[in-house]
Structure 1
Amino acid sequence: MSGRPRKGRPVAFAPITPERSQPDPVLGLKFTIEARHGGTVLVDMTGLDPRPLAIAFAGALRRSAALGGPIGAASVIKQYVQVYRHFFAWLGDDAPEVTGVNDLRAVHIDGFASALERRGMGAIHRHITVGKVINTLRAIEADRPDRIAPDLHERLRYTLATSAGRSTPRDAYSPFVARALRDAARADIEAMLRRLGADDRTDEGDPVVARARADVEAIIARQGFIVADQPALKRLYFMRMRRGLPISTLIDDLHGRHHLLARDLPALLVLLTLDTGLEPECLKTLTVDCLTNPHAGTVELRYLKRRARGAEHKSMRVRDGGSGTPGGLMRRLIDVTAVAREHLTDDCLWLYHNVGGLRAGIVDPKFQLAAWARRHGIAGDDGKPLHLLLSRLRKTHKALWYTKTEGHMARFAVGHTREVAARHYADLPSLRPLHEAAVADAFRAAVAAAMPTVLPPTAEQALREAPEQVASLMSADTVGPVLDGEQDVWLAACAGFHSSPFAEPGSPCAQPFWGCLDCPNAVITARKLPAILAFLAFVEEQRCSLPASDWAAKFGRVHTRITVQVLPVFSDAVIAEARRQMGSERLYLPPEARA
């Protein structure tokens, strides 16, 4: 071998002709879809007519719910089927000539949207409903483009010609309600943790009942649960009934030492939502490996947010420690569900006993949440029983965090862009008083910044004795000349004639003489009261000769400044003395007062 590489040869591949996608083979209208989230869904569209159109819609739905399709949740599949029923019912009433996809036109989509509007459906709900029909027809077009009419093809480019508008965000609960919810949840969780694994001494006083109970406990330990018609449980049930012992919660009492119960879920969901602010749908799908990377009293919580297309896998850091922290509570949940996990091969965090056996995952806890709130007697701010929603608990967490961060969006916008955080979580009715107070404070600060320094005689004397008090306004060596009148202008003494906020630095102030009343450089003492009172008398005389609008535009703010913010600082005796001086002295107004 020469040691040099051999010259290569170009590689040529045989041409490949891609296979044409086959039309969807769905022929029936009753089938099941295995959703990626939420389990199996039975789809029954047998009642939809016309049948050819229903078959096309059914095929599009199945393709959209397949792996890689846009529909992943069982609940969304059910929503699509419900929209189909409304759409087909409208077609049967208003467009009976439609028998298949080929007969659909743009006018049918617009007619359906108009019918929804006439029924009173809101703009956002209408967009969502029509959007499901549009999405289905787009899926049909992707499979069989030849079945879509040209005008319908153009119509599928958009959902509706009108805007959906802006939704009204759910409001947060008040801090008072949040405290009541948090206290009730913590009390229930503490009782739950004491119950799990506790020694059973319920029937130790009666050996016969104790043996029957031990038999039931052994079955639960072996199988994970016991059903109501099992002989061992029936025997224990009737033994307790004949002896007058409690039997209404017997099944929960038996399983409660081994597993979480369905009634434990509301307290756990409420506390974790308030402490973490996690989305309810994300909280319900947590897995046993959700905690990772503990560091400095915190732990990383990993969760799945399905509606964040392209960025579904997310994480946040939460406090970690004892069971009073989110991380510590989740660790306890992982521990106490370990027994149930031996019988259910599921990595879901939420394993619990419900009627008839062990369950994995949380489907719809609204009834359990309502019962839990009633059991604790939790009322809203209006005094009525609280309608508890997990989504409002998330808003409550965000509102409390917003208050804690004092509205700094860089700290507040966790897991969102600043725009989304501001629109959906900061602009809440419950936070409106906070925003209004902030605006009012800003106006007060602006007014205070434009206010002259008004010094009654006592404050003037204190300033002479300690001139460093006004270092932010003037230097200490300037205090004496200002108070002695060496820097007087017509209505006040000026602490910065060449540093006016109304002119370039270094240039003299060009404001009219009553502009001193809106200048932070002005210092008003009792010595200037005669001139101010003379000007006030002139202003009030002008009210008689000028139209009200002209007088308000020229003198309204000045009049309010003198009567509301300057004169009340001085005592009646000082003002009376100033009026006496004004009467005995001849005070001339500058020419611009009459301009």
Structure 2
Amino acid sequence: MVVNFLDPDGRAENCFDFSVHKRAPQVAAEIALAFRYHHAGHSPATRVGDFHALRKWFAFLDAHEPGIGSMSDVDTAVLRAFITFLDAKSWAKSTRHSAWSVVKQMVGWLKRNRPDLVASDLEIPFNAFPRKNAETPPRAVLSRSEIEAVLAAARKDIEASWDAFRMGQSLLSMVDRRHIAQERDLKRLDLDDLGVMLAIIVEQYGGLVPRQSVMLERGANRSRLHFATLRHGGSPKLTGHLHMMPETLIPYMIAIGAQTYANPEALRELRRDCMSEHLLLDGRSVIRWSKGRSNRVQRRSFLRDKTLSVPNLIDRVLQMTSPLLAHVPAQDRERLFVVETVYGSRTVSLIPPYLMSKHVRLFAQRHGLTDDSGQPLSLTLASLRATGLTLAHEALGHDILKTQALANHATPDTTQRYIDRPIVRRAQQRIVGSLQAQFVDLVRGANSADDERSDALAIDASHATAGGFICKDPFSGVGEGQKSGRLCTAWLGCFTCPNAVIPLDADVLGRLLSTRDALVAARQTLAPDRWRLLYAPKLEILENDILSRFSPELHLVASMKTAPALPLIE
């Protein structure tokens, strides 16, 4: 019972063996079926996490329900017993909810798509772990001064490593690399020349500084290379001139993570082709990356106007890691952050998570970074996302929907968990208080006179027409139920208004005729009492006092024009 997932190119992406659950093989087969189809469009990281979470379900069956032979034996009582089993664990509520959610998804898929495999009366418990995130502690966030100190330290390291790399490239360009590649007798080469030393490493060792055991191997005649390495500052010093190392890579990851707000794992797995030029805006590049638990591509655009903007940093990383690509395994060759590590054995691969965390701590210690209380700063890559979103939320006027769009979250609730800080809550309280004060002023009429004057200035009164009339002063308030200073809203009130002006031309007559036809037609659709009360007097005035003032010639011209559309009379 093996479930395989392939990537778009047909290569194996995930492989899950459900036969490990030997005590309930039929249950494992049915869960594997649901797992295969439910996760068909999900990310590899989501599949791996859910597969591991399913172990808790099978552990529960083995310990408490050994008699269950298939999913049709699972009823609502068994699901509730599983919830009780999870509740007995000392895990956080969010962890217990995650374990239950995975099982609920599998059972739900079977119930919808293969009802023959589950009990007919099965009911899935609702909201088994209410307010699952209420007990979750807030994410660690750096203050503005702390993140500025971190970025200043990263900038210092970035410039130093870039200068060392460019120096190495310059020295390599000034030596005869072809001659050095062919010369095997080190006595004939000037090993005190740094350019010659770097060329030996590149041409004879593939760009990787040979290990001490290789240089001192008996009979290899490479001891001169070992002592020359020591004279030039040791292997780390030489490596810095040739390619990226973990300690030089981390400052770039910090600077990029602080600007993109990417999750640590998503940042680690950035691809070498993650950057493209913006199609519409010159000088701006779009950075794309994948998020482990999301199928949506994350993207942000950045200008290239600053030395340490994200596009420029990625360009540098591409150059400083390109010498390593020949040694990188195929599965990591498309990744951006590849490094050489030497712990027992030498490997060149995507930087592993443990090494990433270790060098972030060493980075903070090396620069003596402290928090606002003077204690050593607890810096993690995960804190960069929460810090960036909190500061961005402040810059966006504490608009959570804008911050949600920036974070690319599915719901505002997720964004709220990132930005829910005392300082943010105080700012939100100030904004709410300001809005409430404005509302109170509006109710009390403190600014009503100013508002009315501004309304009058903002509206073009020359278009205040209705039913063929033109008003001399639509702000005079002489109409029934109208107020001085406000635009008249009395639809069809012009029939009895002293401000009404009726030009004797064909266009005005055409609108008046349309108004008459609409009033006549309304008599057939409106309640008789309503029509007699509201519209009969207006129709009488229109037919007896107004239309008779137009000449027969104007009536003929108006009848040949297209009748204008009028608002619905109701």
Q: Given the two structures, how large is their TM-score scaled by the length of structure 1?
A: 0.57
> Is 2:71 the counterpart of 1:101?
yes
User: CA 1:314–1:444 in structure 2 vs 1: closer, same or farther (change >3 Å)?
Assistant: closer
Identity of aligned residues (%): 19
> Is 2:225 the counterpart of 1:255?
no
Query: 1:102·1:147 contact (CA, 8 Å) conserved in 2?
Result: yes
Q: Distance in 2 between matches of 1:159 and 1:408?
A: 29
Pick from 361, 375, 390 the counterpart of residue 370 of structure 1.
361
User: CA 1:145–1:436 in structure 2 vs 1: closer, same or farther (change >3 Å)?
Assistant: closer
1:546-566 Cα shifts (integer Å, max 9, x gaps): xxxxxxxxxxxxxxxxxxxxx
Query: 2:74·2:119 contact (CA, 8 Å) conserved in 1?
Result: yes
Query: 1:130·1:159 contact (CA, 8 Å) conserved in 2?
Result: no
Q: Distance in 2 between matches of 1:247 and 1:84?
A: 55
User: CA 1:236–1:169 in structure 2 vs 1: closer, same or farther (change >3 Å)?
Assistant: farther
Match of 2:545 in 1: none
Q: Distance in 2 between matches of 1:321 and 1:432?
A: 34
Match of 1:151 in 2: 121
> Is 2:395 the counterpart of 1:395?
no
Match of 1:286 in 2: 270
SS, match of residue 317 in structure 2: helix
Q: Distance in 2 between matches of 1:242 and 1:422?
A: 56
Match of 1:429 in 2: 422
> Is 2:339 the counterpart of 1:359?
no
Query: 2:284·2:304 contact (CA, 8 Å) conserved in 1?
Result: yes
Match of 1:72 in 2: 43
1:85-132 Cα shifts (integer Å, max 9, x gaps): 322222232223224434333222211111221224343322211111
Residue type of the partner of 1:173?
L
Residue type of the partner of 1:303?
W
SS, match of residue 98 in structure 1: coil
Query: 1:266·1:368 contact (CA, 8 Å) conserved in 2?
Result: yes
Query: 2:24·2:68 contact (CA, 8 Å) conserved in 1?
Result: no
Match of 2:453 in 1: none
Query: 2:398·2:428 contact (CA, 8 Å) conserved in 1?
Result: no
1:339-392 Cα shifts (integer Å, max 9, x gaps): 334555633322332332322466563333233223333233344333323332
Pick from 321, 329, 334 the counterpart of residue 347 of structure 1.
334
Match of 1:3 in 2: none
User: CA 1:99–1:349 in structure 2 vs 1: closer, same or farther (change >3 Å)?
Assistant: same
Point out the more displaced range, 281-290 or 51-60.
51-60
Residue type of the partner of 2:421?
L
> Is 2:300 the counterpart of 1:300?
no
Q: Distance in 2 between matches of 1:213 and 1:338?
A: 16
Match of 1:181 in 2: 150
Aligned residues: 421
Pick from 5, 8, 23 the counterpart of residue 50 of structure 1.
23
1:364-513 equivalences in 2 (<5 Å): 365-408=356-399, 412=403, 414-415=405-406, 416=408, 419=412, 423-438=416-431
SS, match of residue 379 in structure 1: coil
User: CA 1:216–1:131 in structure 2 vs 1: closer, same or farther (change >3 Å)?
Assistant: same
1:153-212 Cα shifts (integer Å, max 9, x gaps): x32x856374545566525311121111111111111112112142399999x9567777
Query: 1:171·1:428 contact (CA, 8 Å) conserved in 2?
Result: no
1:193-212 equivalences in 2 (<5 Å): 193-199=162-168, 207=190
SS, match of residue 288 in structure 2: strand
1:307-346 Cα shifts (integer Å, max 9, x gaps): 444xx23432212134321222222223333333455563
Match of 1:267 in 2: 251
Query: 1:53·1:100 contact (CA, 8 Å) conserved in 2?
Result: yes
1:211-235 Cα shifts (integer Å, max 9, x gaps): 7775434234xx3546648734757
Match of 2:473 in 1: none
1:530-554 Cα shifts (integer Å, max 9, x gaps): xxxxxxxxxxxxxxxxxxxxxxxxx
Match of 2:496 in 1: none
Please state how far the C-alpha of 1:237 moved relative to its aligned partner. 8.8
Residue type of the partner of 1:304?
S
Match of 2:315 in 1: 331
Match of 2:53 in 1: 83
Residue type of the partner of 2:396?
T
1:254-305 Cα shifts (integer Å, max 9, x gaps): 4332222222332112111222333444433333332212735432223334
Q: Distance in 2 between matches of 1:145 and 1:248?
A: 70
SS, match of residue 150 in structure 1: coil
Q: Give me the CA root mean square deviation.
A: 4.8
Query: 2:243·2:323 contact (CA, 8 Å) conserved in 1?
Result: yes
SS, match of residue 369 in structure 1: helix
Query: 1:303·1:313 contact (CA, 8 Å) conserved in 2?
Result: yes
> Is 2:128 the counterpart of 1:160?
yes
**Runs (5+) with no aligned partner, structure 2:** 173-185, 451-481, 485-570
User: CA 1:119–1:384 in structure 2 vs 1: closer, same or farther (change >3 Å)?
Assistant: farther
User: CA 1:335–1:111 in structure 2 vs 1: closer, same or farther (change >3 Å)?
Assistant: same
Query: 1:216·1:233 contact (CA, 8 Å) conserved in 2?
Result: no
Query: 1:379·1:386 contact (CA, 8 Å) conserved in 2?
Result: yes
User: CA 1:81–1:404 in structure 2 vs 1: closer, same or farther (change >3 Å)?
Assistant: closer
Residue type of the partner of 1:357?
T
Q: Distance in 2 between matches of 1:329 and 1:394?
A: 18
User: CA 1:213–1:35 in structure 2 vs 1: closer, same or farther (change >3 Å)?
Assistant: same
**Runs (5+) with no aligned partner, structure 1:** 1-25, 452-470, 473-503, 507-595
SS, match of residue 198 in structure 1: helix
SS, match of residue 407 in structure 1: coil
Please state how far the C-alpha of 1:445 moved relative to its aligned partner. 8.4
User: CA 1:284–1:61 in structure 2 vs 1: closer, same or farther (change >3 Å)?
Assistant: farther
Query: 2:6·2:13 contact (CA, 8 Å) conserved in 1?
Result: yes
Please state how far the C-alpha of 1:447 moved relative to its aligned partner. 10
Match of 1:321 in 2: 305
Please state how far the C-alpha of 1:440 moved relative to its aligned partner. 6.5
Match of 2:103 in 1: 133
Residue type of the partner of 2:297?
H
Please state how far the C-alpha of 1:42 moved relative to its aligned partner. 7.0
Please state how far the C-alpha of 1:32 moved relative to its aligned partner. 7.8
Pick from 214, 234, 242 the counterpart of residue 231 of structure 1.
214
Please state how far the C-alpha of 1:247 moved relative to its aligned partner. 10
Please state how far the C-alpha of 1:238 moved relative to its aligned partner. 5.9
Pick from 156, 179, 203 the counterpart of residue 218 of structure 1.
203
